[in-house]
Amino acid sequence: MKTRAVRLYGKKDLRLEEFDLPSIKENEILAKVVTDSLCMSSYKASSQGTEHKRIPGDVAENPIIIGHEFAGELLEVGSKWEHRFKAGDKFSIQPALYYENGPVGILSAPGYSYRYIGGDATYVVIPNEVMEQDCLLTYTGEGYYPASLAEPLSCVIGAMHANYHTTPGSYAHKMEIVEGGKMAILAGVGPMGLAAINYVLHREDRKPSLMVVTDMDQARLDRASSIYTVEFAASRGIDLRYINTGVMEDPVKELKAISGDSGYDDVFVFAPVKPVVEQGDAILAFDGCLNFFAGPSDPKFSAMFNFYNVHYAYTHIVGTSGGNNDDMVEALDIMGKGLDPAGLITHIGGLNAVADATNNLPHIPGGKKLIYTHIDMPLTPISDFAHLGETNEFFKELAAICSRHKGLWSVEAETFLLANTGLLM
């Protein structure tokens, strides 16, 4: 079977190509990809090429398919896996395999390391190790885009689970955020910050009493507050505050004042920016945990940390990169119970938009860029649909659908897009 895919050959060398997939083996699965959500990690992979830990050293001769936040439909299941999967199943994938016999060892991952599987493709061959590691997950919800966004949601779920606190008088650590505690999400209205807010608001088992979300972009704060409202948070027992630290004379002092001067039990840093990290450290409460979520591109990135407080106030830091299988399962489950990740999405595009968008991702404003791999469409902000609809019936209808959903993407919009792609020509 032929596939169209965006392949990485080296630093910033992404190419949209058509080529033949090999016939599947008895331990492999042929799948159709429908959606892929572009991730900053793919930008880093493209920017670093073979210097990236997940990219094989021979990509110039054996290019890999980029993209790891994808969903679609299984088409043909090898005999080894017929007892667990069937043609027609919708799927999502946990890309962090931790499979020591993969192309680049333990860090091998679809979207980074494989010739025939990645999210920015029309059809892929899912290798045996994905199923062996329980990383192929069936999705029974509506639409496809939620399953694509299960992977980024799993990353913030993993971060929440990775935070820990101490037990006075012992060396035992209590994992998780503090129930009923005070939480701060710094630089928190980008795509992953929005995913964190959404998750915290929908958790049933554990939540803070206060959640402060900061940024220096008022427009982004306003958008976040219109999607994840303080009223809804209050109905969940959470005092949610959106704070623009850019207009504060002394952000640390004022943020601590919001906490009642006690500081925050759980602080999440969503931007690899030295002053933001140091601000997070400065607002930690006694036994506070700072989660450095945003991975920097600079291997020498560093920031100051108050080690007096480490010793006397038990403050500490963790870092997480991606979620595990349990986090993916939880992400899919919580979406099935009402969490809609559409608020993360600000742009829609086709496979032809992937290479340029991936290589320029930090410079494209907005949230998640969602790709439909079987169409050609420029990367288009949802906010532009209405204007484009003045001269184009396709975008006019998409704009009307999004308007019915508070300006957000939706299963209704996705269904219309997939059924009417001919109108794009």
Is the distance from CB of 126 to CB of 166 less than 8 angstroms? no
Question: Confidence band (pLDDT; 50, 70, 90) for 37?
Answer: very high
> Where is pLDDT greater, at 323 or 146?
146
- Domain 152-319 class, CATH top level: alpha beta
Q: What is the pLDDT of residue 323?
A: 80
Six-digit token pair at 93? Answer: 């994938």
Measured CA to CA, the distance from residue 291 to residue 283 in angstroms comes to 13
Digit-coded pLDDT (tens) for 204-231: 899 999 999 999 999 999 999 999 999 9
Which among 128, 123, 74 has a CA at the least distance from the CA of 99? 128
Q: What is the pLDDT of residue 294?
A: 85
Above 60 in pLDDT, residue 403? Answer: yes
Q: What is the pLDDT of residue 321?
A: 74
Helix/strand/coil percent split, the chain, to 5: 35, 25, 40
Is the distance from CB of 164 to CB of 175 less than 8 angstroms? yes
Measured CA to CA, the distance from residue 189 to residue 198 in angstroms comes to 11
Above 60 in pLDDT, residue 334? Answer: yes
Measured CA to CA, the distance from residue 74 to residue 67 in angstroms comes to 18
> Domain extents for the chain?
1-148+340-425, 152-319
Question: Confidence band (pLDDT; 50, 70, 90) for 177?
Answer: very high
Residues sharing a CB contact under 8 Å with residue 363, sequence separation 6 or more, in sequence order = none
Above 60 in pLDDT, residue 174? Answer: yes
Measured CA to CA, the distance from residue 206 to residue 289 in angstroms comes to 16
Above 60 in pLDDT, residue 425? Answer: no
Digit-coded pLDDT (tens) for 52-95: 989 999 999 999 999 999 999 999 999 999 999 999 999 999 98
In Å, what is the CA distance from 117 to each residue of 57, 69, 111, 364?
17, 12, 7, 26
For the domain spanning 1-148+340-425, the CATH number is 3.90.180.10
Share of the chain above pLDDT 90, in %: 84
CA angle centred on 130, ends 124 and 132, rounded to 5°: 140
Q: What is the pLDDT of residue 105?
A: 63
Above 90 in pLDDT, residue 308? Answer: yes
Q: What is the pLDDT of residue 162?
A: 96
Q: For the ranges 3-12, 331-340, 345-354, which has the lowest average pLDDT?
A: 331-340
Digit-coded pLDDT (tens) for 235-292: 999 999 999 999 999 999 999 999 999 999 999 999 999 999 999 999 999 999 999 9
**Predicted structure pTM score:** 0.86
In Å, what is the CA distance from 269 to each residue of 159, 208, 280, 295?
11, 17, 7, 10
198: how many CB neighbours lie within 10 A of its CB? 24
